[in-house]
Structures are given as structure tokens and as C-alpha cells.
């Protein structure tokens, strides 16, 4: 079933942005642990997803540590306003993480750069409606243009990207952010039917569950090699420069860690925490994470080695097996939904084809393809190259 309903609207031109009075407002990096905890204590109401304050504060410390383990730099930002007495008061806050990215311009090999991903944007209720978030986003774009760029050439900087996932429609279009793709396949398991144990014996024939970090790291390295090959081919063909957020192991391990940590507190089963984060069959694999806060299992990436197949029909058949394994994992944790962003499907595989094939299986769960209203991937370049395309913009890159 396909649902074309969408709440996405056309972004507003950035030409109407206000000028920021730098004598009245400043964006500062928070490094003091107490100040960071104060910000987290305030934004807890928006981003804790069911955790207690203490659990949320510990989660945020853990997120910082797991990102640092893989060489990703997390920065805490605060917008401060100068009071009449001359004191600087924090009125809004957010975070950004710097992760490896890759870009391609015609006539040159694929090269390294960086990406900045923005998250946890929060303005306390008493400060809303005063334009603070707008001012913060303007100042943040100015800072991120040169943030963490040590050792990068001018070309590398000009081909870096800033990404975010909006839960407020196209608000960020005010600042030049462009929407990429918000199409999603959503499956709603029927818990009135026979209980599924989630054991290895229950999964489709030939499907192997994935839990080893070492094995997953090998798979995502295979995926990165594929992405590099594709942006090289596509840019040489049409001349349009492209960039990707590199699908390194740490990008996935960050979300796996969140699933394990939050699962200890929010999952409603006898299991303590998840250990299975994907499945593979023949030349295809799928990674996922259990999001207990939003009560969904998210497919993070589906990869297919086309050299192992002779037709799209064969590929779709194996993807359906992977989805069936993901449905079992969804039921194992009593989660209401399995969500797969169509941008994470293998190239050349249409979301409608997946929906149709799944609906033709025996006893399929309710499935729909729709334009989701939240977590909208948006980006702009942090450099001067305005025609740079962010591709492979799937859930795997979410922050």
C-alpha cells in the first residue's frame, strides 16, 4: 500500500534571513561538564525518550565516549544573549558531531573531507517565539564552515556538508538547508497473531543473524567501497559533484550502543538488551537498530552485491527475507513498527516493488510506503560549492 500524504512544504528562501547583532548574541562551545549537564537537564524533556533524568545524563556521557572511541568529535553549543547587566545568558543549545565524509568532483579521484551533523536543537519553553533558534542556526553555520578543518585543503572544505534531521518540517530551509528524501516503508506487526519467538529457527531459510562487531565492520567497509565507486562513476558521467557521510563502523556502533543502553531501561520484555543488529542472506545484508524511545526498529542500511544476482527479482526476494527477519526482531522487542527509509534500499530497487513483493508473501504484516513527517534529512554545504549533492543519505548517517 502506498500513501502519498506528506506534510513537507517548500523551504523559505534564505535571502530573508535577519542580520545577527554580534554584540548581543554569541555562540559558544561548552566544555565545562557542569554547564553541559545543565543543558542536558533542560533538554531532557524533549530528547530523553522515556528515560529518567539520571539515565538520560548517563546516556549522553556514553554517546560522547562511543563517538570519541571511533574518532568522531562531538561539540556542545550554546547560544547566549547579553543581558542588560552585561552577563551572557544561555537561551538555546544544540550539538554537532564531526565525522569523516568523502566527495567527488569531475576529473579528480574521490577524496576525503568532513561532515558536520547537527542534533538536539533545543530552546526552553520560556524562550520560544523570540527567534533564538534562528539566530543560533545562523551563527552555527558561520562556525561550522571552519570547525575541525585543520589539515584540510580549501577544496576539501568547500566540498564538506552540514546535515540534520528535522522534526519541525522545513524550518531549516530558512537557512539554506535542502530536503533530500523522506520516503519510508513502515510495517506494523500484528500482535494478535501467533507469537514469534525470534529464535534462529524462526527466521527465513538461509538468513544468518548478525551480532559480531568485527563482521559488521567488514560489511560496512564493503558498502563504503561501493559508494565510492558509484559517486566516482556518476560524477564523471553527469559532472555533478557528490558527497557522502562515510559509513564507517563507528557510525553504526554509535546507534547499536544507544540500543543496548536504552534497552536496559525501556524494553518491555524479559530480555535485558539487544545483541542482534542485522541479518544477511546470499549477497545481501541489512543492519538495524532497536529504538525503544520512539518504539520502532529502524533498518539502517540494506546492501546488495549485484555480482551474486542475475535479476532484480532475485534481489527483491532476498530483501524480503531480510525484512521478514527484521519483523521477527521487531516482535521480539514488542515494538509497534519496523521502518525502512527507501534511501537505504539498494540502488535500482524501488520501494513500491518491495511493498508489492512483501504483500504477496504468506501472512504479511500491514505495510505502507509514505512520506514521513519527521526526521527529514536536510543539508547544505559548509563551503562555497553550492551544487554539491549529498547522496546515500539514509538512516545509517542519522545523528
pLDDT digits over 349-379, tens only? 999 999 999 999 988 999 999 999 999 999 9
In a domain, 334, yes or no: yes
Residue 7 counted as domain residue: no
Does pLDDT of 382 surpass 70? no
pTM of the model: 0.93
Residue 6 in this model has a pLDDT that exceeds 50: no
- Asked whether residue 197 falls in the same domain as residue 128, the answer is no
3-class SS at 113?
strand
Instruction: Please tell me the distance from the alpha carbon of residue 132 to that of residue 110, in angstroms, as a whole number.
Output: 38
Residue 8: inside a domain: no
Q: pLDDT digits over 311-326, tens only?
A: 999 999 999 999 999 9
Total structural domains in the chain? 2
Helix axes 249-266, 213-238, angle to 10 degrees: 130
Q: Binning pLDDT at 50, 70 and 90, where does residue 135 land?
A: very high
Are 181 and 175 in contact by the 8 Å Cβ rule? The answer is no
* Closest CA relative to residue 297, chosen from 185, 192, 215: 185
Same domain, 291 and 391: no
**DSSP code at position 306:** G
Beta bridge partners of 368: 186
Q: Are residues 144 and 20 in the same domain?
A: yes
My answer on whether 87 and 220 are in the same domain is: no
> 127 and 206 share a domain?
no
Q: Give pLDDT, residue 301.
A: 98
- When pLDDT is cut at 50, 70 and 90, the band that residue 306 belongs to is very high
In a domain, 20, yes or no: yes
Whether the predicted pLDDT of 96 surpasses 50: yes
C-alpha cell recorded at residue 129: 517565539
Smallest CA-to-CA distance from 394 within 277, 227, 233, 175 is with: 227
Give the model confidence (pLDDT) of 146-195 as tens digits: 999 999 999 999 999 999 999 999 999 988 899 999 999 999 998 876 54
- Whether 316 and 283 map to the same domain: the answer is yes
Residues spanned by the domain of 150: 14-180+376-397
109 inside domain: yes
Residues 228 and 341 in one domain: yes
> Which single residue is written with the C-alpha cell 551533523?
117
Amino acid at each position: 500500500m502506498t500513501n502519498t500524504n506528506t506534510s513537507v512544504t517548500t523551504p523559505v528562501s534564505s535571502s530573508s534571513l535577519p542580520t545577527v547583532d554580534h554584540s548581543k548574541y554569541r555562540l559558544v562551545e561548552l566544555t565545562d561538564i557542569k554547564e553541559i549537564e545543565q543543558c542536558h537537564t533542560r533538554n531532557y524533556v524533549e530528547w530523553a525518550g522515556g528515560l529518567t533524568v539520571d539515565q538520560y545524563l548517563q546516556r549522553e556521557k556514553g554517546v560522547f565516549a562511543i563517538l570519541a572511541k571511533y574518532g568522531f568529535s562531538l561539540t556542545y553549543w550554546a547560544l547566549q544573549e547579553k543581558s542588560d547587566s552585561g552577563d551572557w545568558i544561555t537561551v538555546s543549545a544544540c550539538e554537532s558531531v564531526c565525522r569523516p565524509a568523502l566527495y567527488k568532483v569531475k576529473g579528480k579521484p574521490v577524496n576525503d573531507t568532513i561532515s558536520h551533523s547537527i542534533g538536539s536543537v533545543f530552546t526552553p519553553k520560556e524562550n520560544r517565539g523570540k527567534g533564538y533558534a534562528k539566530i543560533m542556526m545562523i551563527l552555527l553555520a558561520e562556525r561550522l564552515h571552519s570547525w575541525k578543518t585543520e589539515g584540510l585543503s580549501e577544496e576539501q572544505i568547500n566540498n564538506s556538508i552540514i546535515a540534520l534531521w528535522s522534526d519541525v518540517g522545513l524550518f531549516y530551509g530558512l537557512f539554506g538547508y535542502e530536503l533530500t528524501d523522506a520516503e519510508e516503508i513502515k510495517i506494523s506487526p500484528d500482535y494478535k497473531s501467533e507469537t514469534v519467538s525470534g529464535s534462529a529457527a524462526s527466521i527465513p531459510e538461509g538468513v544468518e543473524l548478525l551480532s559480531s562487531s568485527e563482521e559488521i565492520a567488514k560489511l560496512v567497509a564493503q558498502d563504503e567501497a561501493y559508494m565510492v565507486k558509484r559517486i566516482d562513476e556518476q560524477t564523471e558521467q553527469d559532472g555533478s559533484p557528490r558527497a557522502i557521510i562515510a559509513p564507517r563502523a563507528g557510525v553504526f556502533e554509535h546507534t547499536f550502543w544507544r540500543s543496548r543502553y536504552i534497552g536496559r531501561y525501556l524494553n518491555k520484555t524479559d530480555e535485558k538488551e539487544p545483541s542482534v543488529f542485522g541479518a544477511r542472506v546470499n549477497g545481501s545484508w541489512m543492519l538495524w537498530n532497536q529504538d525503544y524511545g520512539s518504539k520502532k526498529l529502524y533498518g539502517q542500511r540494506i546492501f546488495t552485491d549485484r555480482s551474486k544476482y542475475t535479476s532484480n527479482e532475485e534481489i527483491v526476494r532476498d530483501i524480503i527475507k531480510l525484512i521478514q527477519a527484521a519483523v521477527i526482531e521487531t516482535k521480539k522487542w514488542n515494538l509497534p513498527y519496523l521502518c525502512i527509509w527507501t534511501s537505504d534500499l539498494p540502488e535500482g530497487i524501488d520501494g513500491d516493488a518491495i511493498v508489492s513483493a512483501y504483500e504477496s508473501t504468506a501472512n504479511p504484516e500491514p505495510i505502507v510506503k509514505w512520506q514521513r513527517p519527521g526526521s527529514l534529512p536536510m543539508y547544505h554545504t559548509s563551503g562555497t560549492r553550492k551544487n554539491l549533492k549529498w547522496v546515500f543519505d539514509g538512516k545509517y548517517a542519522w545523528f
